[in-house]
Structure 1
Amino acid sequence: MTDASVLGALDGVRIVDLTQMLAGPFCTMLLADQGAEVIKVEPLDGDHTRIIGPYHVDDKLRAFGGYFASVNRNKKSIAIDLKKSEGRELVMKLCEGADAVVENYRGGVMDRLGLSYEALQARNPKLVYATIRGFGDPRTGKSPYADFPAYDVISQAMGGIMAITGPDKDTPMKVGPGVGDIIPAITCAFGIVSAVFRAHRTGRGQFVDVGMVDAILAVCERIMHQHSFAQTLPVPEGNHHPLLCPFGMFPAKDGFVTIAAHADQHFPILCRLIDRPEMATDPKNVTVQDRRANQEAIIAAVSAFTQQRTKQELLKHLGGQVPFSPVYNVRDIVADPHFKAREMLPWVPHPGLDHEVQIAGVAVKMTETPGRVRHRAPLLGEHTDEYLKSIGYSWADIDCLRAGKIVA
């Protein structure tokens, strides 16, 4: 945990977070990492990811596991029953003093609860209202699938990323991490910051809508220009690039490495380093297009060299000479000095443990207002009293709300 007194770039920005699972919480985590005050509004039984785990073997409390801890750091938690009118009024009051509210319920849920964009903006015209839904919100363009539920694997499938991922042209494959959630989350965080910036200048908020499948298509932009410009149907290309060579994964004695020496400046260097200098002057390999057409022979030559050496041997030989990296697993990552130097492996306290645990760090680095992991993920309702007091409720009022099971 780093110095909490160092303010982030979004210090002073208040976000009411009505999200659950991964896409929404990852989005608001990005804002919290950069200093925004994020009030996580949870149902009385908590965000469902609290119970998913994994739990540390020494955890005596099991208040939440690694999933929740990873994407809910730097947030405050207040537990409210939105099915009750008193609970909904609490959210209204929280939003009156907020810059943005974020939710990822299915379309229409918040409208039926009386917490729609229009209802909240009527009480706070500067409010930015952001959503992440599988197929977007009808306010910005009604999809025929607007009412369909969606998760990571759904947006990966329809957004196009699976169709170009896999070991061969006939086998589409799911991408490892939950990019179907995380890419929309990053996109939405960008949209929120943009809209809040404008609201601070104009005094007027707006509706920010990210469709999960739309965000995936946006990062698969290559398939569109291949289809539109070249009239091709992109398919999985295995571990090599459809347009560039050598650009992909190669076998090592103890695993795999990646090399991206397709450019004119790097290809001759690679040829020299793998003891095949003649390949650099071969007429078949003169241009980027030539090398792509001669991909099979180039890949075979590079593989013949790499498979005789370990990943670390190749790192010492090729690293810094051409674009190169071993294919790391998480143990390799933890051991590599890069990630320590970049503060990408922070240690955080965890309720129920007498020692700290590691989570992934903040990738956006700033010199004056550095993003940081300032505090662990919150216990359920850990800050309920704090925020109810801040919007004018007395201790007696809070006791009544808690007795009525409106808050926890």
Structure 2
Amino acid sequence: MTHDTLPQFMRDRGALRGVTVLDLTRVVAGPYCAMLLADLGATVIKIEHPADPDLTREFPPLHDEDGEPVSGFFAQFNRNKLAVSLDLKQPDGRATFLKMVEKADVVIENFRPGTMDRLGIGYETLRKINPALVFTAISGFGQRGPNAARPAFDSSAQASGGLWSMNGTVEEPMRVGTVLGDLSAALYAAIGTLAALREAERGGAGTGSGQLVDISQQDSIVSLTENALVTYTATGKVTVPEGNGHPFVKPYGRYACKDGFVFFGAYTDKFWREACTVFGDTELANDPDTATMAKRFLPENYRRKVDPAVRRWLAEYTKAELEAMTGDRFPLSPIKGIDEVVDDPHLRERDMVVPVRYRGTTFDVFGNPVKLSNGTFEHGASAPVVGQHNDAVYRSWLGLSESEYAALRAQGAI
């Protein structure tokens, strides 16, 4: 978007250069969304209460820096951001935020619905100040609906969105072992924000083309349940956990090898023939009970011939040997621990492990999966301390006078 000359600390290159984001979020879903935009070149200003900042500043893993704990968790989700402190409950703090909204393109928040309205800075208020504003709201159950006001965490979304009931085993449904409700909501929020920004830009300044982007963690999880919803609506069948297998694609799952486990997925006719060739099993390749995908899918054929053969093949080799043997001939992937992931040369080459500086400490964190030929900004990134950029943002960008800035400090509003 078009602004006056940008202050020196704002990005002058990158896909989202010139886009200013006010980040009011905490924990994971909102911070991750804002971090993705920052990696892509947006100027993201993280706004925290001066006495009650983002609680993940104290989340593990922690390094000791001069006797103070420094959080790698916070660094990972808040790199490439500027940070200011601001008490939105104070009248002057609220007034300062409204001035910031006039100059911003995006506001991202992940409070419970109604919180922003109670603070006097809800979407309807902000759109009057900046009609082109994109207001992205991330919450457990969305901004409307009978459950909108309910508190939620990641597990709330996994439970209410159906994913928990599908994962694990029939005897013990399990939560997915990462905060998928938060992470998926962050990704959808980033997509929605960029789409709304595109419309605001197309409409031009002063056209009132901004909008509310409403992201629900529960909605996000429902969209990740693959074919479970349509299977139920079409057939009445309720999807249950399949463990490490697949409900109808076979062979496709976890298999043991000499030093651990691999994923083996050679279920198409082409891949199956390649697997039989690699493992020297010409008899099985020509067996009429296993020669076609449809035949291999039949439970009896899979149980008697396919599954035992695959288990026999893989048990003779290590993960590294299997990966080297199969190459690009058919899908086989070692099931890697995070230590192996960090050391993976392919991921290293793709910049998926990058260093981030935070309070004198360097953490290796995950990179940005979005790869642009003109580059992104995760390399050389740092995460800010509370209020680190107060002077730069309030004086240089917002244009507060020395006396106005001093008054905010004296009142404890920043």
Q: CA deviation at 1:280?
A: 3.0
Give the distance between the partners of 1:61 and 1:38, measured in 2 at CA.
Answer: 29
Alpha carbons 2:356, 2:383 under 8 Å: kept:
no
Q: CA deviation at 1:49?
A: 0.6
Aligned to 1:115: 121
Give the distance between the partners of 1:15 and 1:131, measured in 2 at CA.
Answer: 13
Q: Which amino acid aligns with 1:161?
A: L
Aligned to 2:196: 195
Q: Which amino acid aligns with 1:267?
A: W
1:163 to 165, 169, 172: 165
Aligned to 1:206: 211
For 1:76-155, what aligned pairs fall within 5 Å after superposition?
76-138=82-144, 142=145, 144-155=146-157
Aligned to 2:75: 69
Aligned to 2:359: 351
Aligned to 2:7: none
Q: CA deviation at 1:159?
A: 1.1
**Structure 1 residue 229 and structure 2 residue 227: aligned?**
no
Q: CA deviation at 1:313?
A: 1.2
Alpha carbons 1:107, 1:133 under 8 Å: kept:
yes
Aligned to 2:399: 392
3-state secondary structure, aligned to 2:126: helix
**Structure 1 residue 274 and structure 2 residue 279: aligned?**
yes
Alpha carbons 2:141, 2:150 under 8 Å: kept:
yes
Give the distance between the partners of 1:393 and 1:197, measured in 2 at CA.
Answer: 30
Give the distance between the partners of 2:214 and 2:380, measured in 1 at CA.
Answer: 29
Q: CA deviation at 1:61?
A: 5.5
3-state secondary structure, aligned to 2:171: coil
Q: Which amino acid aligns with 1:100?
A: V
Q: Deviations over 1:325-363 (max 9, x none)?
A: 11111211222210111111112223133xx32111111
Aligned to 2:409: 402
Q: CA deviation at 1:28?
A: 0.7
- TM-align CA RMSD: 1.8
Give the distance between the partners of 2:292 and 2:18, measured in 1 at CA.
Answer: 53
Q: Tell me, which stretches of 5 or more residues in structure 2 are unaligned? A: 1-9
Give the distance between the partners of 2:12 and 2:197, measured in 1 at CA.
Answer: 22
Q: Deviations over 1:7-65 (max 9, x none)?
A: 32111111111110111101111111101111111111310110112212x43263640
Give the distance between the partners of 1:254 and 1:97, measured in 2 at CA.
Answer: 57
Alpha carbons 2:11, 2:43 under 8 Å: kept:
no
Aligned to 1:342: 350
Aligned to 2:312: 304
Q: CA deviation at 1:296?
A: 3.0
Give the distance between the partners of 1:221 and 1:348, measured in 2 at CA.
Answer: 34
Alpha carbons 1:6, 1:369 under 8 Å: kept:
no
Give the distance between the partners of 1:5 and 1:137, measured in 2 at CA.
Answer: 32
Q: Tell me, which stretches of 5 or more residues in structure 1 are unaligned? A: none
Aligned to 1:253: 258
Aligned to 2:182: 181
Alpha carbons 2:22, 2:46 under 8 Å: kept:
yes
1:322 to 330, 333, 336: 330
Give the distance between the partners of 2:156 and 2:42, measured in 1 at CA.
Answer: 30
3-state secondary structure, aligned to 2:62: coil
Give the distance between the partners of 2:69 and 2:16, measured in 1 at CA.
Answer: 29
Give the distance between the partners of 2:182 and 2:98, measured in 1 at CA.
Answer: 27
Aligned to 2:290: 285
Aligned to 2:249: 244
Give the distance between the partners of 1:406 and 1:63, measured in 2 at CA.
Answer: 26
Alpha carbons 1:101, 1:127 under 8 Å: kept:
yes
Aligned to 1:47: 54
3-state secondary structure, aligned to 2:322: helix
Q: Which amino acid aligns with 2:160?
A: M
Alpha carbons 2:20, 2:42 under 8 Å: kept:
yes
Alpha carbons 2:358, 2:384 under 8 Å: kept:
no
For 1:17-28, what aligned pairs fall within 5 Å after superposition?
17-28=23-34
Q: CA deviation at 1:241?
A: 1.4
Give the distance between the partners of 1:196 and 1:59, measured in 2 at CA.
Answer: 40
After TM superposition, the runs of 4+ consecutive aligned structure 1 residues lying more than 4 A away are none
3-state secondary structure, aligned to 1:346: strand
3-state secondary structure, aligned to 1:119: helix
Alpha carbons 1:7, 1:370 under 8 Å: kept:
no
Q: CA deviation at 1:133?
A: 0.7
Give the distance between the partners of 2:163 and 2:294, measured in 1 at CA.
Answer: 24
Q: 1:229 to 1:273 in 2, by over 3 A?
A: farther
